Chains A and B, each alone.
Chain A
Amino acid sequence: MSGHLHKDYTGAKFGMWLFLFTEVLLFGGLFILYGVYLARYPKEFVMAGSQLNVWFGGANTLVLLTSSLFVAMSITALRRGAKRLCLGLLGGTVACAAIFMINKFFEWSAKIHHGIYPGSAHLKEMLPGEMVFFNIYYLTTGLHGIHVVIGAIVLSWTMVFIKTGRVNAGDWVILENAGLYWHLVDLIWIFIFPLYYLILH
């Protein structure tokens, strides 16, 4: 029915950026809470924060930064006609996502095994500020983890489109937008890492 609409590359990108703003504000609410409670419980945040494993956090930071590198490079690859390199890089990104989630699984399992999780008896014995720290830690990293999974799915889907040729060197905005979403996932972690894993003093 509707005639062929002239594709609007800039418009599509702009729309994705607008969506990213909404994600920033969504996580922003959690960061507001973090800031307020950090100001209220500085000592307890350090006590609780020291219990998080900086190796898990640091490793995940490196994994996500590398995944961002891969997805950024994949766009250059596609536009230069290196379709197989592009798919390889995107596969690498998805692999990084998987490593991230596996890391997170082990990290959370360890904490849960020690009885540190929302609503646990052990949590209730802690100081108020410690309880807040762990509650907001689980909520923020949990919400972030959901976004990692969504991002991985979106990127995998994009890989299928590239294979079928729907996304190609002449029309790559879907890849660009998928990449933007993935970079957002990386950006949020760039803030999560120091605020949760490097609260040592």
Chain B
Amino acid sequence: MPEEHAHIIPYRTFLLVWVALLVLTGLTIAAAQFHFGALNVWIALGIATLKSSLVVAVFMHMKYEQPLFKLTLLSALAILAIFVGMTFLDVLYRS
């Protein structure tokens, strides 16, 4: 069975990712102290997206999964993005 030979992720990799996550957390706290106006939220979301990508890819093993898993995850996220985006077609353009 192919799964029994599936890649075992070494402890070191996890620890490195964890350190990166802590650094990014520090970064997002630091960025929040500055006045970037409307950009603040997008910077925060960008860093959060980076952190989640690390969690998904390494902690959740997605990097090593078959394409189906990656495709369906992206589809689910795309659908959510559509829901958000199209709601804003209403909210942003009310008179």
Contact = CB atoms under 8 A, between A and B. Distances in A.
Given A58-B29, A61-B25, A198-B32, A79 B44 contact: no
Contact of B32 (A38, A66, A200): A200
Contact of A190 (B15, B55, B76): B55
A49 to B, nearest CB: 10
B59 A72 contact: yes
Nearest to B15: A69
Interface in A8-63: 9-10, 13-14, 17-18, 21, 24-25, 28, 31-32, 35-36, 38-40, 42, 54, 58, 61-62
A190 B61 CA distance: 18
Interface in B57-83: 58-61, 65-66, 68-69, 72-73, 76-77, 79-80, 83
A194 B68 contact: no
Contact of A65 (B21, B36, B37, B44): B21
Contacts of A73: 11, 14
| Residue of B8, B35, B58, B59 with most partner-chain A CB within 10 A | B59
B28 A194 contact: yes
B32 A40 contact: no
Contacts of A65: 18, 21-22, 25
Interface residues of B, number: 53
A13 B62 CA distance: 11
Interface stretch (A97-105, A126-134, A154-162, A180-188): A180-188
Contacts of B17: 69
Contacts, number: 124
Nearest to B50: A190
Contact of A18 (B35, B72, B80): B72
16 contacts: A10-B3, A13-B65, A13-B69, A24-B80, A25-B79, A28-B83, A32-B84, A40-B91, A69-B15, A72-B58, A186-B55, A187-B52, A187-B55, A190-B52, A190-B55, A191-B48
Interface of B: 1, 3-4, 8-11, 14-15, 17-18, 21-22, 25, 28-29, 32-38, 40-41, 44-45, 47-48, 51-52, 55-56, 58-61, 65-66, 68-69, 72-73, 76-77, 79-80, 83-84, 87-88, 91-92
Q: Which 4 A-B pairs have the closest CB atoms?
A: A198-B32, A194-B44, A21-B76, A9-B3
Given A28-B80, A201-B37, 18 more contacts: A13-B69, A14-B69, A24-B77, A28-B83, A28-B84, A36-B87, A36-B88, A61-B25, A65-B18, A66-B18, A68-B18, A68-B55, A69-B18, A72-B58, A76-B9, A79-B8, A183-B59, A183-B60
